[in-house]
Amino acid sequence: YPVEGYYPLQDPPVADLVKAHKLLGYLKNVIHIGIDVTEGKLVEKDTSMWQLQGEPTVLITLAHIFNYFSPLLCKVYLVEDVLMTFLLSILERGGAVEAHPLIQQLLDLMWLLMEEYEVHECLKQLLMSLLRAYRFSPIIPDLGLQIHYLRLTIAVLKHEKSRKYLLSNVLFDVLRSVVFFYIKSPLRVEEAGLQELIPTTWWPNRFTKEGKESKEVKEESAEERLRRRAYERGCQRLKKRIEDVVSILVVEGLQVQILKLLLNNKDRGGGEASRYIFLNKFRKFLQENASNRGNLTVLCPPEYMVCFLHRLIAALRFFWDGHKAKTPAPVSSEEAYVPPQLFYNGKVDYFDLQRLGGLLSHLKKTLKDDLAAKANVLIDPAELQAVTMDDLDEDEESATSAAQSQRPSAALGIGGALARPGWLSSPTLGRANRFLSTAAVSLMNPRRPLGALEKIKVRTLSVEQRTEEDIEGSHGNEGLLLGKPPEEPDQPITENSLLEVLDGIIMMYNLSVHQQLGKMVGVSDDVNEYAMALKDTEEKISRCPKRRRDIHEELLKSQKVFSEKLNHLSRRLAWINVTIYSKEKMQDIYWLLRVCIRTIEHGDRTGSLFAFMPEFYLSVAMNSYSALKNYFSPVNSMEELPGYEETLMRLAAILAKHFADSRIVGTDIRDSLMQALASYVCYPHSLRAVERIPEEQRISMMKNLLAPYEQRPWAQTNWILVRLWRGCGFGYRYTRLPHLLKTKPEDASLPSLQ
């Protein structure tokens, strides 16, 4: 990044640059000029439609050029300054990426004429340069620079051989490819042109005693109304600018297009389809973020995760509905859920994440008979014995650690703040906890008589080794859907690979997306605080005596500071509301909430096997509802979402049923369920939803609330009862009211009771 008047940190490799530009000129000449074989002369050709054909003279010439050009294309400076600039210039002519096949032809040429290690290094440096350019280019009003780099990224990833190499070795291994899905928030409003888009700013100026914006309908002054409407129009202009940049594809649309290329499952030429490479890398990415909660350098920043989640939902729903259009039987993405067999058949790795029923090894031992009876899954006794021995060894090694850990289940809360005890992350128990990933799972064939059962060994490979057949299944092998319980439909609801993507999206939300959504609300809080301070200052100015000019001047300075800060913050808030809290993003989170509700309902029907479900499904159901209610309003109202009342009631039924569910053993998740239910009965809308759940469930809920506390938190229980009974004595009445008694109890004067 050269600055005029200063030397750059790194001197340009002048000699190599001269060579590279000269060789690039030769390459352009070959592309630009063709040979007319009939007349035996050179003719000019349209470079955009150039194709690599079997003309010996052209190929020999190109081979000579690349003999010198290839070593230079392994150097990062030359890749960024020469190759990337040339490829970007091809796309500058406008139109869709598909209208520029020359880039595909050049990549074919590179794979043909360069050594394999040279192509690998060149592609790696090209993607890293694109990522840097996308990440650090300034925000301009039409986001033109970001679009430019995204278009070239799409053009490179459209080349099948290059895409598969980059997916396998670069996108998740060398660089943070999720940066491509992030829309950077401007640090200064000037750089994003927000002053031109939103010339008039507005902020709330009526507050309750607690400092919250007043909900009472009061008359706005004419000036205030004009300012608010002008601000809202500016927000709409900003939204339109981000979503519809001149004639170019939407920024988010380009990002979704990248994911569609990575999720392509039709490109089986020369190896495995891109989608299955992506799935294995995506799972590893989730594992790194789930297992390194304390190591911030390894974790993907949460602001990137939020954008990645929304783009991935869009791509997933595109493929899901596309599959439904071809196969009428499966459900649409509107009715999507994760089938319960994914949680217990070992085909999807959940790392060391806690299940509702506790450790996976424990569940396998205690529920092996239920697995055989309900899901036709048998466990090899030898493997089970191996796990048991591991557990025994671990118990001996960790007696001291276990004694020190007062609440081990609390430490197992997914993504929780509490550190995991050392004995839970040891390699021995790690093997036991991931038992299903390595155990030999056998499938009973229900069509045969019980006396003729055969154990069919199913390959359950590690994440890195899985193939399309392991995921999708074939010839009687059900892949990820092995061990279907009788409650589930015979017909798969969609492609198995999409189910794993959906499961990963839900895990992503739990890892960091929810926390980031809550963090961005802070800008709105800052606006309210500064607005209160400004209002207070203006009131002081109006009361200030005319003789105290010194105080008046200081107050005017404060007023100016607060006004400038509010102008900046209100424009920044407009950007956040458009990019993070928009109606479309709200619909994504709402869709995720409904997916979790359906998944929990389907898992619940499997009886004891519900214990295999990872805890984060319940956490995401509660947190996504909380986000919709607290983070997206008042920008967008949850009540306007389709099926809102029914969703509220179904979530209420889940909370009412599972807060005292014996299949759920984790202390943290049980506490969370109680807190969610306590919050649910505090607000009129959600309280009405509790009242609408079936009477049988309401009676069961009340019995559980009135049962002895045992391990249940008494504070939340009492709070719920107080809310429901509105303090009417819980069905108990004094024969004579104690405050009307003339004589006090004998021990009433004790110091301890004062």
For residue 595, the model assigns a pLDDT of 96
Burial 714-728 (b: 16+ CB within 10 A, else e): eebbebbeeebeeee
Number of residues assigned to the chain? 754
CB contact at 8 A, 172 and 300: no
Q: How far is CA 347 from CA 286, 437, 446, 603, 733, in A?
A: 16, 6, 21, 17, 58
Residue 187 CB burial class (10 angstroms; 0-12, 13-18, ≥19): exposed
The pLDDT of residue 452 is above 50? no
- Tell which residue, 92, 186, 172, has the closest CA to residue 139: 186
For helices 644-658 and 616-630, the axis angle rounded to 10 degrees is: 140
> How would you label 281-309 residue by residue, b for 16+ Cβ within 10 Å and e otherwise?
bbbebbbebbbebeeeeebbebbbbbbbb
HSE-up (13 A, CA, CB side) for residue 615: 30
Task: Give the span between the Cα atoms of 670 and 676, in whole angstroms.
Answer: 10
d(CA 25, CA 189): 41
* Coil, helix or strand at residue 655: helix
DSSP string, 362-421: HHHHHTHHHHHHHH-EEE-HHHHHHHHHHHHHHHHHTHHHHHH-S-HHHHTSTT-SSPPP
Q: Nearest-5° angle of CA 227, CA 231, CA 237?
A: 145
Phi-psi domain of 725 (left: phi exceeds 0; alpha: psi -120 through 50; beta: other): alpha
Could you report the per-residue pLDDT of 636-655, keeping only the tens digit for each? 778 888 999 999 999 999 99
Helix, strand, or coil here: 748? helix
* Residue 265, pLDDT above cutoff 60: yes
Reported as a single tens digit per residue, the pLDDT across 58-77 is: 889 999 999 999 999 999 99
- Whether residue 689 contacts residue 645, with contact meaning beta carbons closer than 8 Å, is answered with yes
Per cent of the chain over pLDDT 90 is 29
The answer to whether 440 and 383 have CB atoms below 8 angstroms apart is yes
Give the whole-angstrom CA distance, residue 410 versus residue 433.
17
Angle, helices 549-579 vs 222-243, to 10°: value is 40
Average pLDDT over all residues of the chain: 77
- The pLDDT score that the predictor gives to residue 445 is 33
Tell me the C-alpha distance between 592 and 702, whole Å. 29
How far is Cα 688 from Cα 648, in angstroms, rounded to an integer? 9
Classify strands 441-443 and 377-379 as parallel, antiparallel or unpaired. Answer: antiparallel
479-531: per-residue pLDDT in tens? 778 888 888 888 888 888 999 999 999 999 999 899 988 888 888 788 888 88
**Higher-confidence position of 394 and 715:** 715
What's the token pair of residue 583?
């109606």
Residues with Cβ < 8 Å from 644, sequence gap 6 or more? 638
Q: Per residue in 275-327, pLDDT tens?
A: 999 999 999 999 888 887 666 667 888 889 999 999 999 999 999 998 888 88
Residue with tokens 């984790």: 666
Q: How confident is the model at residue 734 (pLDDT cuts 50, 70, 90)?
A: low
Which of 333-337, 350-354, 653-657 bottoms out in mean pLDDT, i.e. has the lowest? Answer: 350-354
Rounded to an integer, what distance in angstroms lies between the CA atom of residue 421 and that of residue 537?
A: 52
| Cα–Cα nearest to 481, from 467, 464, 500 | 500
Q: In angstroms, rounded to a whole number, what is the distance separating the alpha carbons of residues 283 and 391? A: 26
Domain ranges of the chain: 12-175, 352-399+408-492, 604-615+628-729
What average pLDDT does range 468-476 have in this prediction? Answer: 71
Distance CA 194, CA 186 (A): 9
**pLDDT digits over 522-572, tens only?**
887 888 888 888 888 888 888 888 888 888 889 889 988 988 888 788 777
Q: How far apart are CA 391 and CA 410, in angstroms?
A: 20
**Lowest mean pLDDT segment, chosen from 203-207, 428-432, 674-678:** 428-432
Whether the Cβ atoms of residue 494 and residue 336 lie closer than 8 Å to each other: yes
Given a cut of 90, is residue 10 above it in pLDDT?
no
487 with 577: CB under 8 angstroms? Answer: no
- Specify the pLDDT at position 121: 95
